[in-house]
Each structure stands twice: as C-alpha cells, then as structure tokens.
Amino acid sequence: MARRTKEESAQTRARLIEAARSQFERHGYANTTLEQIARAAGLTRGAVYFHFADKAALFRAMRDQVELPLIDRIGPGLLSEHDGDPLAAIERYMLAVIATIGGCETTRRTFEILSFGCEYVDGLAPELERQRHRHAELRDQLRDAYRRARAQGLLRAGLDPDLAALETTVFLSGLVRVWLLDRGQRLIGPDPGPLVRAHVASRRR
C-alpha cells in the first residue's frame, strides 16, 4: 500500500509539473495562477500545495526536469586540449545544442518558456543569474578554443580570439532564440545547421 501511495504521489506531482508547463506556455509565468494549474491538472489547489510550497517552487520543478544546453551545461568538448581541430569542436558543440533542443519536445518547450514567458524578478531572479553565469562560462571556453585554433594556425588572420568568442556566444544565443521564434519556419527553416557551419567557416583561415 505504501508503495502504491508513493507511486500515486509521484504521478500527481508529474501531472502538476506538466500542467504548469502548459499554462506557462499559454499565459507566461507571471499571468499563470496556481488555480489555473490545478484546474489544468484536474486537481485541487490543496493538491498543488501538498507537493509545492508556491508557484516558484513548481516552476523550479518544471525547470529542473530537463537539462538545458547553454544554461545547465556547456559541454566538455570545448575544453579538450587534445582536439586536433578546435574549430571543429566549436562546430560540434553548437550543432549538439541545436540537436538537443530540436530533438526533445520537453526541452524545447521549457527553453521557450524561459526565453519568452518569464519576468526574471523576485523568485525567478536566481534563474537569470544562472543564465548570465553560463553565457560567461561559454564565452571563456570559446576563447580558450579560439586561442588554441590560433596557435595551430587554423584561425583567420587578424581575428582576435577574445572577440571571436564573444561573437560566437552572441551568435549561438541569438540563433537559438530566433529559431524558437520561427515556428512557421519562414526565417531559418527547420535546420539551423548551415548557419552554424557558415559561422565557423568564417573564422577559419
């Protein structure tokens, strides 16, 4: 009986998280109420409070259900000093980011909520700080990779590795954002890969 109760509790929690995700998508975080989430899950507000202290806690549970590229992890591929071609490593990393977002609906939906459905104040302020930190970490890893590329004679003449790293950070972040916005596929289309490859190729000697 105890095992069944634990399983039922886990199922209820999962229903609430998915309901929250759907409501945050539809209304944005600020305009979504716990009453709306409970109703979407077919549960009561009491059930929500049994599992989550408040809306911010429910948001964090939804957020932590997936590991988001660019935010939760950068990836070890850029760190390897043994990679024969650091520019190829940068390209692989960016393509992997696109593949991760495009290959998992839950990841994509969560990324869209964080990109377009949140005001990062009060309880959500730490999430924005985490994103800032990860982008700075990505810039630093890209800088190291570009410096290795320059040392190997692979980098385009006159291209400063520090500036190249910042440009690529902004490029990738903006590419993901526009790609998510482009639901009708009128701008980028279904595959941003060619843009990634062109970006890296423009850095190569």
Half-sphere exposure at residue 91, Cβ-oriented, CA atoms within 13 angstroms: 18
Share of the chain above pLDDT 70, in %: 93
Can you give the pLDDT at residue 82? 61
Q: Which amino acid would we find at residue 172?
A: L
Q: How do residues 57-101 score in pLDDT, each as one tens digit? A: 999 999 988 888 777 766 656 656 666 899 999 999 999 899 989
* pLDDT at 49 exceeding the cut of 70: yes
Average pLDDT of the segment spanning 95-121: 92
Which amino acid belongs to residue 37? I
Domain residue spans in the chain?
A: 2-63, 76-201
Helix (H) or strand (E) holding 16: helix 2-27
pLDDT at residue 204 in the model:
97
* Percent of the residues in the chain that have a pLDDT greater than 90, as a whole number: 71
Q: What mean pLDDT do residues 48-65 have?
A: 93
Residue 154 has pLDDT above 90, yes or no: yes
126: its two tokens: 């730490």
Give the pLDDT band (50/70/90) at residue 167: very high
Instruction: Give pLDDT, residue 91.
Output: 94
Mean pLDDT, rounded, for 47-54: 94
| Architecture of domain 2-63 in this structure | Orthogonal Bundle (1.10)
Instruction: Give the architecture (CATH level 2) of 76-201.
Output: Orthogonal Bundle (1.10)
Burial 104-140 (b: 16+ CB within 10 A, else e): eeebbbbbbbbeebbeeeeebeebeeebeebbeebbe
Amino acid identity, position 48 = V
How far apart CA 141 and CA 164 sit, in angstroms, is 12
What's the pLDDT at 186? 85
Structure tokens at 153: 């004679």
Q: Are 135 and 173 in contact (CB under 8 A)?
A: yes
Query: What per-residue confidence (pLDDT) applies to 144?
Result: 93
Residue closest to 142 by CA, chosen among 202, 65, 196, 74: 74
Rounded to whole angstroms, the Cα distance separating 106 from 97 reads 14
Rounded distance, CA 198 to CA 142, Å?
A: 17
- Considering the entire predicted model, what is its pTM? 0.87
| Cβ neighbours of residue 72 closer than 8 Å, sequence gap 6 or more | 134
Helix (H, G, I), strand (E, B) or coil at 91: helix
Give phi and psi for 152, each to the nearest 5: -90, 0
